[in-house]
Amino acid sequence: MVAVVISIGDELVCGLTINTNAAWLSQQLAAVGIHVQAHLTVGDDMPTIIQTIRAAIGSCDLILISGGLGPTEDDLTREALARTLDEELVEDSQARAGLEAFFQRLNRPMVASNLVQARRPVSARCVENTCGTAPGLVARFDSTDIFVMPGVPREMKEMFDREFLPLLKKRSGGNVTRVLKLNTFGAGESWIGQRLGDLMKRTNQPAIGTTVQEGIVAVRIYATGPLDTVDSMLAEARRAVLERLGNLIFSEHDITLEQVVAELLKRRRHTLAVAESCTGGLLTQMLTSIAGSSVYFLRGWITYSNAAKIEDLCVAADLIARHGAVSGQVAQAMADNARRKAGADWGIGITGIAGPDGGTADKPVGLVYIAMAGTDGITVRRCQFAGDRYGVRVRAAQMALTLLRFKLLGLDAGVVLP
């Protein structure tokens, strides 16, 4: 089955309210093997609502609509559906009785405008709303089923779970959709896509795609089929992706890079000290956001100025004078001195130019040096990050975590692109 989700309301179009209904409905549909081909959001405008419903009819098996079922003049979904079906609105006696009983339970008089909520297109059926006053609607046009629900999330979810989900489970033939997310850092989306190659063909089952957020490239595997075969399909696709991306994959699902590094440090009983310049404490914040971080995180320095590097970390003034604060030599001194002063197993030093100003031809904006000091010596990575100031800082912190992860695993970080 293929579905389209339509969300109605000026507050959604204007961005005043975040549309959580569409995301939630897609998750529920995917769980029973129904593919959502589009999310459509429209304002409280009759012609636009009618046009949107008509355009979706025929392109899918199911339309789910939320919003616009209230008692006020800007609630147009009920009438728009009637016009789409070329039918009149009639009062549903059972829906009216439900409305009257709702206000009686509250010991409040029912405003006359609420009666519009008891109206439905002639061929449609009203669906009881056990949490509010707006009944839902069920209609059909040609081969497309149309389910209409209130826009209030609590009311929508209750109605969907009670009324529509059991029906959809039967119609889906027992199919389910499972999604596996594999998180990578250290290569761009285009490189990942090229590496995966034929695995990402749109006709494949399972389907594999990528998304990017703040430098993390997530590989998502979507498998749809009978419950007893979906897990094996996911496992086979996972093995294929692992063969091509290897150690660039740091976690699955929603496990963050800092969580992975924290677990490695704890497992090995290693400790860490950090000296930051351009990242301004972001790496420290990421490392200490994990509960129990005091076990592995000993100390951090934010040495933003040259004076701080000299006074707090004992970086030689002549070293900065010769090579500049943004240099591999200074990053190395920051990492080594931080490790020694804290008595830690590992020391990280970061220095760079986050921008938007301060770059030169030799040292452009986005240039960052990351040094890693350990018992086996010191390594320095020169990185050139694209993006705005925030993006450069985030990617620098993520790169530091990634390089430490490779060190802790005893792996060659050569596959990590600068």
Provide block-wise average pLDDT over 10 residues at a time, the chain (418 residues). 96 95 95 93 97 95 97 95 97 94 90 94 96 95 96 96 93 84 96 96 93 94 90 96 97 97 98 98 97 97 98 97 98 98 98 95 97 95 95 97 97 85
Topology adopted by domain 261-415: Maf protein (3.90.950)
Annotate the chain with three-state secondary structure. Answer: CEEEEEEECHHHHCCCCCCHHHHHHHHHHHHCCCEEEEEEEECCCHHHHHHHHHHHECCECEEEEECCCCCCCCCCHHHHHHHHHCCCEEECHHHHHHHHHHHHHHCCCCCHHHHHHHEEECCCEEECCCCCCCCEEEEEECCEEEEEECCCHHHHHHHHHHHHHHHHHHHCCCEEEEEEEEEECCCCHHHHHHHHHHHHCCCCCCEEEEEEECCEEEEEEEEEEEHHHHHHHHHHHHHHHHHHHHHHEEEECCCCHHHHHHHHHHHHCCCEEEEECCCCCHHHHHHHCCCCHHHCEEEEEECCCHHHHHHHHCCCHHHHHHHCCCCHHHHHHHHHHHHHHHCCCEEEEEEECCCCCCCCCCCCCCEEEEEEEECCEEEEEEEECCCCHHHHHHHHHHHHHHHHHHHHHCCCHHHCCC
Residues of the chain with CATH 3.90.950.20: 261-415
Report the helix count and the strand count for the chain, using DSSP H and E: 15, 17
How many C-beta atoms lie closer than 10 Å to residue 8's C-beta? 27
Composition of the chain by helix, strand, coil, percent to 5: 45, 25, 30
Q: Assign residue 176 a region: left if phi > 0, alpha if psi is -120 to 50, beta otherwise?
A: beta
Cα Rg, the chain, nearest whole Å: 29
- One-letter amino acid at 121 equals P
CATH of domain 175-252: 3.30.70.2860
- Is-contact 295 266, C-beta < 8 A? yes
pLDDT of residue 227: 82
- CA neighbours closer than 13 Å in the CB half-sphere of residue 217: 19
Write out the two tokens for 409. Answer: 């695993």
Taking the C-alpha atoms of residue 347 and residue 335, their distance in angstroms, rounded to an integer, is 5
- Is-contact 193 370, C-beta < 8 A? no
pLDDT of residue 174: 76
Taking the C-alpha atoms of residue 413 and residue 386, their distance in angstroms, rounded to an integer, is 20
Place domain 2-171 in its CATH homologous superfamily: MoaB/Mog-like domain (3.40.980.10)
pTM equals 0.82
- Mode of pairing for the β-strands spanning 175-184 and 144-149: unpaired
Note the pLDDT tens digit of each residue in 171-226: 877 788 889 999 999 999 999 999 999 999 989 999 999 999 989 999 999 998 88
Residues of the chain with CATH 3.30.70.2860: 175-252
Residues of the chain with CATH 3.40.980.10: 2-171
- How long a stretch of residues is the chain? 418
| Cβ neighbours for 145, distance < 8 A, ≥ 6 positions apart | 61, 62, 63, 138, 139
pLDDT of residue 58: 86
